[in-house]
Structure 1
Amino acid sequence: MATSAMAAECEVNIDSTDAMKYDKNEFVIDKSCEEFTVNLTHSGKLPKNAMGHNVVITKASNAQAVASDGMTAGLDNDYIKPDDERVIAHTEIIGGGEKTSVTFQVDKIKPEEDYMFFCSFPGHIAVMKGTVKLQ
């Protein structure tokens, strides 16, 4: 049992709500993880076209531009510009009662850079955002 307690946790669970909030404002990726999974739930009741949420991971310096470009991409593209190379990983947009996840290669995250996660639904980045750290 002690051995498993020492193993790196290579995933994070994030909940989102109709109140336009995540239940976390930071998550840490252990540098020993090769892959990392973000599991997103939406514990609200509103549909994705009214109060949809996702998780997008980018360098902090790119987040606002990625969100702005994503607004024109529309719901069918999860409010992410297709093939946007600034996006490290993103989940699909989900509505109340739904779940989704995304797994990505940890080597896309560099220790010397600042990263963040946010919701790309139009306007949500103002309050639905947090930091991603590698350590």
Structure 2
Amino acid sequence: MTARPTLLASGFLLVLAGCGDPAPTPPAGGPVPESASTPAAPVAAVEPAANEGTEPSTDTACAVEIEGNDLMQFNRDAIAVPATCERFTITLRHTGQMPVATMGHNVVITRESDMPAVAADGVGAGLDAGYLKPGDDRILAHSDLVGGGAITSVTFPSAKLKEGGPYVFFCSFPGHAPMMNGRIALE
């Protein structure tokens, strides 16, 4: 009977080994490692689309907060952008504890038909580029990639959602897009 738990533990360790070198997990109730609680440094190669030089919207009707966790889940599967908003802000709160290199999350907005290719091309771009191909014009907007305990946001012109949809939001970290995605629409 001890072979089964040992086999399961070995399999779990192999899965973790494939994810890179994760930061040590704090003891229950202990502090979160610094790398998991501070936002990722801005990436020079990939700037958040349509967010340069703008402040996040202060109009709560033109903003939404979503959460992503260590189980590769967003807490919502749809975002309605009011047609009265010139600009819209999505704030992502990573409620997990894992560091960005192990379980990073971001919010990327594309046409639904472009999502698989954008996610695939992002894998090749790597962590330093936020798993987004630099200069990819299929990306309408995106936030920075952050680890557990961090918050990021992206503000973009709502007019980007007027033609050519349907549109989706998703996380570009490798393997996350199939589970961490939802519809975003101008209403």
Q: Does structure 2 conserve the Cα–Cα contact (< 8 Å) formed by 1:18 and 1:51?
A: yes
| Secondary structure of the corresponding residue to residue 177 of structure 2 | helix
- Larger radius of gyration, structure 1 or 2? 2
TM-score by length of 1: 0.92
1:24 aligns with 2:76: yes
Mapping of residues 23-42 of structure 1, within 5 Å: 23-42=75-94
Structure 1 residues 106 and 30, CA, compared in 2 at 3 Å: closer, same or farther? same
Gap regions ≥5 residues in structure 2: 1-58
| Secondary structure of the corresponding residue to residue 124 of structure 1 | coil
Residue 108 (structure 1) shift: 1.0
One-letter amino acid of the counterpart of residue 11, structure 1: A
Which of 59, 67, 76 is the aligned partner of 1:15?
Answer: 67
Give the equivalent residue in structure 2 for 1:95: 147
Give the equivalent residue in structure 2 for 1:71: 123
One-letter amino acid of the counterpart of residue 109, structure 1: L
Number of aligned residue pairs: give it: 129
Residue 111 (structure 1) shift: 5.2
Cα-Cα RMSD: 1.3
Q: Does structure 2 conserve the Cα–Cα contact (< 8 Å) formed by 1:27 and 1:133?
A: yes
Which of 50, 62, 84 is the aligned partner of 2:114?
Answer: 62
CA–CA separation in structure 1 for the residues paired with 2:94 and 2:164: 32
Gap regions ≥5 residues in structure 1: 1-6
Over residues 17-42 of structure 1, what are the superposed CA-to-partner deviations in whole Å (9 max), with x where a residue is unaligned?
00110001000001110000010010
Give the equivalent residue in structure 1 for 2:133: 81
Instruction: Name the structure with the higher strand share.
Output: 1
| Secondary structure of the corresponding residue to residue 71 of structure 1 | helix
TM-score by length of 2: 0.67
Identity %: 47
